[in-house]
Structure 1
Amino acid sequence: MTGRQSAYPSRRAVLSAGGALAAAVATAGLASQADAADYPERPVKIIVPFAPGGPTDIMARILGTHLGEALKGTIVIENRPGGGGNIGIGIAAHAEPDGHTLLITSSAYVVNPGLYAKIPYDPFKDFAAIAELGTSPNVILVNAKLGINSVADLIARAKAHPDELNYASPGLGTTPHLSGELFKIVANVEMTHVPFSGAGPAIQALLSGTTQVTFAALPPAHPHIESGALKALAVTGPHRWFDLPDVPTMIELGYADFITDTFQGFLAPAITPMSIVERLSTKSIEILKTPGIAEQLRNDGFEVLANGPDGMRKRIADEVPKWRDVIMKAGIKPV
């Protein structure tokens, strides 16, 4: 037929387009390999969306030191606290996806979608998973001078003086905060929540007597427990911590299913070259599995996971709906 063009491309056009696509894929593959070979071209910034001194900061600094050596480059840890982690996570989400801006975050990443009406990132689309690094049980702490030596003591004090006790957390919607809210529900007590910009400031508030109770991840609290400045009443993991044998779990104390932890995950902005993501993942897992480093992290209060991208993606997929449900049941309205 003349004078009329077919709505479908000709076989020659398909072959030509296919050749162009194959060439583009091959070029992209070579570019990706080149990205990995030349990476890093300048200092790599790892954003920690919390104040210094918390578990995520501790993990980032330990991993960052060894990762810089493995990559033969410079790693810079940049703390960007605020908004329950949203500020730092948002900055990382919108960074150039070239592997030179990365994110090490905590459970706030999966909690915040259910806690805030609007957040500056999509937990499923805005990041490429690098590795699931580690996790820590949360711990219920009081100042050793307070005279509270057990969870039973804490409950009795809270019931006798319902307006007296303030509890600190690393921030609104963090797993320590949600641990505190869950504790109030199961123990039928009232305490006033005082959020801080990270675990470090929250623990300092407890040490100074500004607050009377703190729910925190174990790593930043561990040295203060060992020194005797803080009294650990219970851990919220499934079992007792190896070097705190006298500290019971909440389950042992009769609170079934009271398990909350804080994880640390390693992420890159979406569409970061896969070769760079894979290199970062491989090196990070090798570092975490090194016996001396694994032991150091364990002594600091971390259970090392050292899982690759699939493990991190699964945790995100599982925990975004999990924490959304907990927030709803606790009656916490999105802010």
Structure 2
Amino acid sequence: MLDKISNRLSRREMLRATGLLAGAVAASSLGLAPARAAGYPERPIKIIVPFAPAGPTDIMARILGQHLGDALGGTAVVENKPGAGGNIGIGTTAHAEPDGYTLLITSSAYVVNPGLYAKIPYDPYKDFAPIAELGTSPNVILVDPKLGVNSIADLIKRAKANPNELNYASPGIGTTPHLSGELLKIVCGIEMTHVPYSGAGPAIQAILSGTTQVACAALPPAHPHIESGALKALAVTGAHRWFDLPDVPTMIELGYKDFISDTFQGFLAPVKTPAAIVELLSNKSIEILKTPKIAEQLRNNGFEVIANGPDGMRKRIEDEVPKWREIVAKAGIKPV
């Protein structure tokens, strides 16, 4: 009798131990999320920006990074890794340790580069875990006021009457402002010569100095010159008019269906980063972006706050990689 009880107790203990082990395995299959998130961050978080300082992506990263570090009870530092149209910084992050301490804030280059380059150091679908879709800035089509062109219709008329006259500046080959210019040429049936520069600042200076008559640029660096009257904005390429440029129409309003060409800012982590850390970063980032004071600060810097979570960022990637691949092909730009 005692032997039977002893055997029964042994089996119960074995079953209990097995149950505990099964629970541990289940937690492991979920990425050990609670355990891995506990105590995070224990050291500074590095946010890689794949472009030079002072551009739109750098501005977004520094504003968000400062507040994100505070919200997490730690520190977030921005590291600029420019080069190869953003590929160097994006590739560096893709192959970093997926521990939540190396993250990426990038622009639309992330979705444009797969169509622009024959080989890139990352897979846009597989190498990253989306954290959040942060914000976007429309591009803007600019002219020198002395040109006497006051609308897109005027620009088309001028370009068709003088096919070899107009040059347009952009921040560089493959940037969304460059592709906005190429899309403009396609849908309007006009010719303009593209003059690429090494960034938004030099491109704006080119039209201010009269080196080019037209420019396509992201709104943030162009905005003060539009307000001062030094540059004339003919249209923005976002889904709606910019809040403090109410007289500047969208290309859609002008009859060019689906002409949306904005520059977004996205937040991503290497793909195997623990789910709990990704969720924590996403929730904190969205809280920060929705804070009225910070949203206003970003708006004043030319950003429309989106504040979508991982699903929103993932959908944008899925939608825009093929979209820009098609635009690059239609523009006759051969992958390099």
Output the TM-score relative to the length of structure 1: 0.86
* 1:217 lines up with 2:223 in the alignment: no
Letter in 2 for 1:213: V
d(CA) in 2 for partners of 1:37 and 1:51?
34
Aligned-residue Cα RMSD (Å) equals 2.6
**Contact map agreement 2:137 2:263 (CA 8 A) in 1:** yes
Letter in 2 for 1:251: I
How far residue 26 of structure 1 moved from its aligned partner, in angstroms, is 3.6
d(CA) in 1 for partners of 2:22 and 2:128?
26
Change (3 A) 1:125 1:30: closer
Letter in 2 for 1:240: R
Change (3 A) 1:211 1:78: farther
Letter in 1 for 2:155: L
In the alignment, structure 2 segments of 5+ residues that lack a partner are: 1-16
Deviations 1:273-317 (A, max 9, x none): 212111110100000111111122223322211110111111111
Please state whether the residue corresponding to 1:123 is helix, strand or coil.
Answer: coil
Tell me the equivalent position of 1:135: 136
d(CA) in 1 for partners of 2:173 and 2:98?
29
Please state whether the residue corresponding to 1:250 is helix, strand or coil.
Answer: coil
Taking the TM superposition and a 5 Å limit, the aligned residue runs for 1:18-167 are: 23-26=24-27, 32-144=33-145, 146-167=147-168
Change (3 A) 1:197 1:187: same
How far residue 183 of structure 1 moved from its aligned partner, in angstroms, is 0.9
How far residue 156 of structure 1 moved from its aligned partner, in angstroms, is 4.0
How far residue 155 of structure 1 moved from its aligned partner, in angstroms, is 3.2
How far residue 57 of structure 1 moved from its aligned partner, in angstroms, is 1.9
Letter in 1 for 2:247: D
d(CA) in 1 for partners of 2:209 and 2:100?
40
Deviations 1:42-95 (A, max 9, x none): 222211122233322222122112112112222222222222221211111112
Tell me the equivalent position of 2:8: none
In the alignment, structure 1 segments of 5+ residues that lack a partner are: 1-15
Letter in 2 for 1:203: I
| Greater Cα radius of gyration, structure 1 or 2 | 2
Tell me the equivalent position of 1:172: 173
Tell me the equivalent position of 1:262: 263
How far residue 115 of structure 1 moved from its aligned partner, in angstroms, is 1.6
Kindly tell me the number of residue pairs found equivalent between the two proteins: 321
d(CA) in 1 for partners of 2:164 and 2:18?
72
d(CA) in 2 for partners of 1:207 and 1:171?
17
Letter in 1 for 2:51: F
Output the TM-score relative to the length of structure 2: 0.85
How far residue 246 of structure 1 moved from its aligned partner, in angstroms, is 1.2
Change (3 A) 1:24 1:45: same
Larger displacement relative to structure 2 (298-307 or 160-169): 160-169
Tell me the equivalent position of 2:9: none
Change (3 A) 1:148 1:58: farther
